Chains A and B, each alone.
Chain A
Amino acid sequence: MTISIRHFGHWDRPMVGVHVSAEGSAPPRARFLLCRPLGQEAVRSAAVFRVAGERLSREGIESLRFDYHGTGDSPGDESAQSLDDWVQDILTAHELIAADGGPPVHWFGMGLGAVAALRAALLARHPPRHLILWEPVFKGQDYLDALIAGHKAELSMMFAQPWEQIAGSGKVAEPTLPGDVLGFELGERLVADLRALPDLNVLPALRRGLRITCAVRGDQPHPFNGHAGLPTLTLHTVEHPTDWMSSQAMGTAIAPPDIPRVLLATLD
C-alpha cells in the first residue's frame, strides 16, 4: 500500500488529502472518495477513514480522504464556511480522483459529510456509481441541538462535574449558535444552512440513477423504511453504535468493522 499527499482545490479553496493506492499490480477495481463529518466527529472518526483506506487498498481499490477547506489540516477560516462550500469541495475532490475516467467511483459520507455528499451527487457531471450515507444528519435543527448537548456532555466529562456545577463555578459559558460549540467555530453561514436544512431525502438521487446505501443506528426506526422496497436503496443498521461527538471511546469500537464491510459490499 502506498499513500501520497494531494494538495488540490481552487486557488481560493485549497485543500489537502491523502490518496491511498490499490495494492497489487492490476489496475484498481474501483475508487472511493471518503467524505468526513465535521468538527469533533471528524476528529473522533479519523481512524475509521484510515482503516477504510487500508482495507480498500488490500482489496485492490484506491481511495482519497480529504479535509474540506477550513477544516482539519486544510487551510481556511473555520468560521467562514457553509454547507454549500463543502458540497463544492466534494465535487472538486471527485474531479481529482475521477480525472482520468478510470474505474467507477463510489462515495462514502459520514454525518454532515453524508448530507454534503448527497447534495453533491445531484450536481456532479458524472455522479458516483454508489453513495454510502453513514449515520447522516436527517434534520438540521436536531443536529444543532445535538451539538449543544454534546458540548455540555463533553465539558461535564472533562471537568468531572455536572454542567450546572461547572457553569455555576464560571469555568464554562453557555454555548450559543453561531459560536464556539464542541471545540469548533460554527459561523453564521453554516448555522443558517443547518437551520434551513430540509429533511434528508434520497429520492432525487435515486431518480438520477444512483445506488444508495444508508446506515443508521438501530435505536430508532429507519427514516427510509417507507422506501425499503426500492431496488437501488440498501438500508443498513449500524452494528457498533458510537457517539462520534464524544472524545472518549467508552468501550466502543474506534473503527467499527461493519464500515469497510459495507463499503466493499457496494462493489458486488
Chain B
Amino acid sequence: MQEQTRIVGAEGHLVATFTPAQGAPGAVAPVVAVLSNSGVIPRGGPHRINVLLARELAAMGIPSVRFDMSGLGDSQRSNSTRSVTDQWVADTREVMDAAQAQFGCGRFFMVGLCSGAIIGHLVALEDQRMRAVLLWDMYAYPTLQSRLRKLAFKIGRAGLIGSAQKAGVMLLRKLRLMPPDDTPEKPKGEMSVSPPKAEFMGRVDRLTNQGVELLFAYCGGQPEWFNHRGQFAAMFAGQPWLPKVAFELLETTDHLITSGPAKRAFIDMTTGWVRERVVPAVSDRPALSSRQAN
C-alpha cells in the first residue's frame, strides 16, 4: 500500500492523503471513503483513528482520502468569502473531485466525526456522489427519559451532599439571596449549535428519500447529552425515515475514541456498516461525475 499526500483544490490550499485499495491493480472500487477533521484535530483524526481506518478499509478493497479542511491541519485558509460551513462543504466536494480522478470511482461515503458529521450530511444534500454518511456524535435532542437520566448521573457523580449543596446554591440565586454566577458563557461557534429539530428531521427525510445511507453513531461518554440506547428512537419518534437509518451506541467508547478497545470498537462498527449497508446500497447505482451530481 503506497499512500500519497498531495495538495489539491482549485486554490491549491488543501492537503489530502490518498490511500489506495489493496488487491488487484486496476480493479474499480465500489466506493471511496472520505475522512477529515474532527473539530480542529488534523486529518489523521483523533488519536490517529482516520489513519487506522484508512488502512483497514484499504485491506477491504476500499480506497480513501483523508484531508484537512481550509485552515485546519496542514491546509491553508481559502481566499473565498464563504462562511466556514459553506467553505468546508466546498472543500469536501473539491477533494471528492480529486479522489474521483485518482481512483476512478464517483461514489463516496464520509466518516463524519463530530463537526465532520455536520459537513458530511450537508455535502450529501448538495452532491449526489455522497451516498452514505456516518454521523458520529452529531445532533442529539433531549427527551423526558434522557433528562431524568442526566439528573441521576449528576447526582451520582456529585453524591447526595454535593448535589444538595448545588441545588441550594441554585435556589439561593433564583431567590436573589446570592449574587448570580458571573462566569462568562463560552462563545459558541457555528458548529456548536444544533439546528431546530424539525429542520434537521427535514434534512434527514430528504437524504433518505435520495437513498443516502445514514449511520447515527453515539459514544458512551456524553451522559449529559446522549445517555441511553432508547434515546435515539424516542427523540425521532414517528419519523418515516427512522426504519431506513442505522443507529449504534458504543457504550465504552469516548467522544475522541481514545483507548485501544475504543478504537477497535469504532473500526469494527464502521467496517461492518460499510460491508453490510454501504457497499450493497451503492453497487446497483451508477457513478456520477461532479457536474451530474449537483
Query: A residues touching B (Cβ–Cβ < 8 Å)?
Result: 1, 3-5, 7, 16, 18, 40, 43, 46-47, 50, 54, 72-73, 75, 78, 151, 154-155, 158-162, 165, 170-173, 179-180, 182-185, 247, 254
Contacts and interface: CB of A to CB of B under 8 A. Distances in A.
A161 B153 CA distance: 9
Given A47-B40, A50-B74, A159-B254, A78 B48 contact: yes
Given A72-B44, A184-B47, 8 more contacts: A43-B48, A73-B5, A73-B43, A73-B66, A159-B221, A161-B223, A180-B259, A183-B258
Interface in B16-43: 17, 40-43
For chain A, what secondary structure do more than half of its interface residues adopt (helix, strand, loop), or is it mixed?
mixed
Contacts of B41: 43, 46, 247
A165 B51 CA distance: 31
B5 A5 contact: yes
Contact of A171 (B3, B5, B74, B251): B251
A190 to B, nearest CB: 15
A159 B5 CA distance: 35
A50 B43 CA distance: 13
Contact of A75 (B3, B74, B221, B260): B3
Contacts of A75: 3
Interface residues of B, number: 36
Nearest to B220: A171
A151 B259 CA distance: 9
Interface in B138-152: none
Contact of B254 (A72, A155, A182): A155
Nearest to B253: A171
Contacts of A155: 254, 258-259
Contact of B157 (A72, A165, A182, A247): A165
B9 interface: no
Contacts of A40: 47
A161 B156 CA distance: 10
17 contacts: A3-B15, A5-B15, A40-B47, A72-B51, A73-B66, A151-B258, A155-B254, A155-B259, A159-B220, A165-B157, A171-B221, A172-B252, A179-B260, A180-B260, A183-B259, A184-B48, A254-B40
A4 B7 contact: yes
B4 interface: yes
B256 A183 contact: yes
For chain B, what secondary structure do more than half of its interface residues adopt (helix, strand, loop), or is it mixed?
loop
A170 B252 contact: yes
Contacts of B17: 16, 73
B5 A158 contact: no
A160 B43 contact: no
A173 B5 contact: no
B75 to A, nearest CB: 9
Nearest to B73: A46
B47 A3 contact: no
Given A3-B74, A5-B7, A160-B223, A43 B254 contact: no
Contacts of A185: 260
Nearest to A49: B74
A14 to B, nearest CB: 9
B277 interface: no
Contacts of B268: none
Contacts of A161: 157, 223
B46 A50 contact: no
B290 interface: no
A7 B221 contact: no
Contacts of B44: 43, 72-73
A180 B15 CA distance: 29
| Of B7, B15, B73, most A-chain CB atoms within 10 Å | B73
A76 to B, nearest CB: 10
A16 B43 CA distance: 13
B228 interface: no
B197 interface: no
Interface string B42-64: 11101110010000000000000
| Of A1, A158, A180, most B-chain CB atoms within 10 Å | A158
Contact of A18 (B15, B40, B224, B255): B15
